[in-house]
Structure 1
Amino acid sequence: MEHAVAPAARRWFATALIALGVALATAGCSPAVPMDAAVDASSPDCAAVTVRLPDVLASGTSAEQAERETNAQATGAWGSPASVLLRCGVEAPGPTTDRCVSVDGVDWVIDESDEPRYRFTTYGRTPAVEVLVDNDVVSGTTVIAELSPAVAVIPATGECTTTGTSIEDAIG
């Protein structure tokens, strides 16, 4: 004797199979970007930064950079492959002779030693935020301008003494 399956049960089962297939197919499209959490990543200030990070960064030089999932607390990544990496909770930089620019009230020290990959680290904010930018893919100027509002939630306790250089002049 055959068992009859109700049409509603068949539709539910078919819908569930389709949903599972879609979930499995899209799960492997964009794996999490592997990153290491910074020492002070568990700071409430880092949590405040993380929830304010933009979903997309306009690159200024090419296509927009979509946010990617990361595997570490208080981090962010954009682009595929990732061209912008952010870590909150890094050690605040001390006095330096590296260039420092102010963008929307946030001071950033620029490490150009691995050009065209630039490291921007907030100055005068604890915990500090570090942003690595591949300037061949995305404009560091644009990235820092778009991330500064999120980072500004960390109270400033100091500032660079020489911020006369504009960010455009600093990284071309």
Structure 2
Amino acid sequence: MPLLPPPRPARAVLAAGALAAVLTGCTPAVTVDSAENATDPGCAPAMLAVPEVVGEHERRETTSQATTAYGDPTAVVVRCGVTPPGPTTDPCSSVNEVDWLVRQDDEGTTWTATTYGRDPAVEVVFDSTAVASSTLLVELGPAVEQIPADRRCLDLEDAATGL
């Protein structure tokens, strides 16, 4: 009995799958150094919960544990397991119940946001010309919330009493 070619819709699906496999191979993994505590079990739920897209940038593969990146060229790099920052005078922003310490480089285009009050901490380095910090921190918030907060940048009760 001769083998018949697959029906036309099946051939289209197979061809699309082959094309997707080829295209996926064209985008190399982003080389990212893992954070010093990337193996902390607290990173796993957060990294599993990161979105597939932030802003308009799709998630990309990375070369190390507890990291991810977005955009081609890379616009955002996320690393879980950085050392949690201690008390600081650095600017702090609270975005949907997640506190972030935010710093910018000397040129003003590369920003680093590090969670405050969560252990392990999450660091996000991003190009502010490619993605707005407000969009990025809102979209990453649900993933970061997988790591419980144990303190806040500004204790609202202390602020109300003037302490």
Q: Tell me, yes or no, whether TM beats 0.5.
A: yes
Q: How many residues align?
A: 149
Q: Normalising by structure 1, report the TM-score.
A: 0.77
Partner of 1:30: 27
Measured after TM superposition, the shift of residue 24 of structure 1 is: 5.8
Q: Normalising by structure 2, report the TM-score.
A: 0.81
Measured after TM superposition, the shift of residue 19 of structure 1 is: 8.2
Q: Percent identity?
A: 44
Say what the alpha-carbon RMSD is for the aligned residues: 2.3
Residue 72 (structure 1) aligned with residue 64 (structure 2): yes
Measured after TM superposition, the shift of residue 27 of structure 1 is: 3.9
Measured after TM superposition, the shift of residue 99 of structure 1 is: 0.5
1:1-172 alignment, distance < 5 Å: 6-8=2-4, 11=5, 22=19, 25-58=22-55, 64-114=56-106, 115-161=108-154
- Kept in 2, the 8 Å contact 1:100–1:162? The answer is no
List runs of 5+ in structure 2 lacking aligned partners: 157-163
Question: Which residue identity lines up with residue 124 of structure 1 in the other structure?
Answer: G
Measured after TM superposition, the shift of residue 36 of structure 1 is: 1.1
Cα distance between partner residues in 2 of 1:19 and 1:54: 24
- Please tell me whether Structure 1 or Structure 2 has the larger radius of gyration of its CA atoms: 1
List runs of 5+ in structure 1 lacking aligned partners: 59-63, 164-172
Measured after TM superposition, the shift of residue 145 of structure 1 is: 0.8
Q: Secondary structure at the match of 1:49?
A: helix
